[in-house]
């Protein structure tokens, strides 16, 4: 079997969709499938992967976040090469220029094409344009793409609801995201290393956020909640892992709320061992985003037995049962503060909730891709008929 994965932005930029495509490609190749990635060129050359990556010329569209838009028409030679690759199936993870190239090649070669719906596109469009008219226009363009492919996949039920709200009336299949994180054996030494690295003491409550530093992820709400919590307990640290376009704004906001002594901006951490140590060290993972559909970071925290506090009925909440394998709150600072107080009031209960999270929330990427592989086989067989 030969498979091609299409995505507009790929490494060195990192987000949940990039991580998903990497794991699809890595695991499918480990199963003996010839799987490659078709994406955009970047200024750096990170392609030391064990699989083939085809890169088209691109233009930056959100430079601060590392997002690019492929311009395939500028490299006709590579298009010719892809036309002759003869894949059995094309899987698209972006409905824009690179995805439309995948659609064109699938129709030309008479092979099936799948598109996974990953993002809340209207929110992205509105955040970029600040125009409801332009956002609706761009959303119409996006849905035009999803209505032309053979199969549409989503990552959870919440994402499927979003897609329907955009006007999609076709069939959908749900294929969840997985995680490549594994809880290590040497947890004590990893935790101690993190405590030394960030100068943490054993008496402090440790809260954590991992992800892009953008307002859409409700980071303002986290700080406002912690400001209220500080009136109850001052002995805590909140570690923020990641980077984004609003770092300076965040630091100013933290200072305004008198939280500077409690917040650690750890920056981007690519070393998975260090990141695992941070997950292990945290008592509670704070992720009140209603923007994310199926956040990988909640699964990673769960692997390390760190329960998450998320918003009720959000995409992040889909596998979480309040006070059993995580914590659910309303989308306001008072509710989040109260839930933090409740979580930290009983450390033994908190530990058990973390253990339950590890048992019920994460699924290894290998298991996910075994299911995907079987579905690919079925689609190709039926499409050939």
Specify the CATH number for the domain of residue 146.
3.40.50.2000
Helix (H, G, I), strand (E, B) or coil at 289: coil
pLDDT of residue 361: 95
Do 191 and 161 have their domain in common? no
Can you tell me the mean pLDDT for 223-246? 95
Q: How many domains does the chain have?
A: 2
Q: 181-212, pLDDT tens digit by residue?
A: 999 999 999 999 999 999 999 999 999 999 98
Do 141 and 204 have their domain in common? no
Instruction: Judge whether 21 and 37 are in contact, CB under 8 Å.
Output: yes
Do 334 and 377 have their domain in common? no
Do 139 and 198 have their domain in common? no
For tokens 């987000």, what's the residue?
15
Do 165 and 223 have their domain in common? no
Q: What are phi and psi of 88, to 5 degrees?
A: -85, -25
CA 196 to chain centre: 29
pTM: 0.86
Residue 44 has pLDDT above 90, yes or no: no
| Percentage of the chain modeled with pLDDT above 90 | 85
Mean pLDDT of the chain: 94
As separate numbers, helices (DSSP H) first and strands (DSSP E) second, the chain gives 14, 15
Can you tell me the mean pLDDT for 78-93? 96
Q: 96-105, pLDDT tens digit by residue?
A: 999 999 999 9
Do 102 and 118 have their domain in common? yes
Do 329 and 202 have their domain in common? yes
Domain range holding 296? 187-360
Residue 66 has pLDDT above 80, yes or no: no
Do 33 and 168 have their domain in common? yes
pLDDT of residue 244: 84
Do 245 and 130 have their domain in common? no
Do 97 and 227 have their domain in common? no
Neighbours of 2 (CB within 10 A): 14
Res. 46 pLDDT band, cuts 50 70 90 = low
Do 143 and 260 have their domain in common? no
**Residue 291, Ramachandran bin (φ over 0: left; ψ between -120 and 50: alpha; else beta):** alpha
Res. 305 pLDDT band, cuts 50 70 90 = very high
> pLDDT: is 112 or 71 the higher one?
112
Neighbours of 19 (CB within 10 A): 18
Do 372 and 339 have their domain in common? no
Instruction: Judge whether 368 and 176 are in contact, CB under 8 Å.
Output: yes
């Amino acid at each position: 079997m030969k498979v091609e994965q299409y995505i507009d932005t790929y490494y060195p930029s990192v987000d949940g969709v990039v991580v998903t495509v990497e794991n699809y490609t890595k695991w499918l190749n480990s199963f003996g499938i010839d799987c490659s990635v078709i994406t955009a060129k970047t200024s750096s050359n990170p392609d030391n992967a064990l699989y083939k990556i085809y890169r088209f010329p691109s233009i930056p569209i959100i430079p601060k976040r590392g997002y690019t838009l492929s311009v395939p028409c500028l490299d006709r030679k590579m298009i010719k090469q892809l036309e002759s690759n003869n894949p059995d199936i094309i899987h698209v993870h972006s409905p824009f220029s690179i995805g439309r190239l995948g659609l064109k090649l699938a129709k030309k070669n008479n092979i099936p094409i799948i598109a996974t719906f990953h993002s809340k596109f209207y929110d992205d469009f509105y955040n970029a344009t600040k125009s409801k008219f332009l956002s609706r226009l761009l959303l119409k363009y996006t849905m035009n793409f999803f209505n032309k492919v053979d199969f549409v996949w989503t990552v959870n039920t919440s994402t499927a609801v979003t897609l329907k709200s955009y006007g999609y009336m076709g069939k959908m299949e749900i294929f969840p995201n997985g995680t490549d994180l594994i809880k290590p054996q040497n947890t004590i030494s990893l935790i101690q290393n993190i405590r030394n690295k960030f100068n943490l003491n054993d008496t402090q409550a440790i809260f954590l956020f991992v992800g892009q530093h953008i307002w859409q992820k409700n980071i303002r709400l986290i700080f406002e909640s912690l400001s209220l919590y500080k009136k109850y307990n001052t002995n805590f640290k909140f570690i923020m892992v990641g980077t984004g376009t609003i770092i300076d704004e965040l630091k100013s906001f933290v200072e305004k709320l008198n939280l500077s002594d409690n917040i650690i901006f750890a920056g981007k951490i690519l070393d998975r061992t260090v990141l695992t140590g941070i997950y292990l060290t945290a008592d509670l993972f704070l992720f009140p985003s209603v923007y994310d559909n199926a956040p990988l970071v909640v699964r990673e925290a769960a692997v390390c037995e760190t329960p998450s506090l998320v918003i009720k009925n959000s995409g992040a909440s889909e596998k979480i049962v309040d006070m059993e394998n995580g914590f659910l709150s309303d989308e306001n600072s008072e509710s989040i503060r109260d839930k933090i107080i409740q979580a930290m009031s009983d450390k033994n209960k908190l530990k058990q909730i973390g253990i339950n999270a590890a048992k019920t929330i994460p699924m290894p990427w290998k298991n996910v891709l075994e299911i995907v592989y079987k579905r690919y086989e079925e689609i190709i067989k039926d499409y050939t008929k």
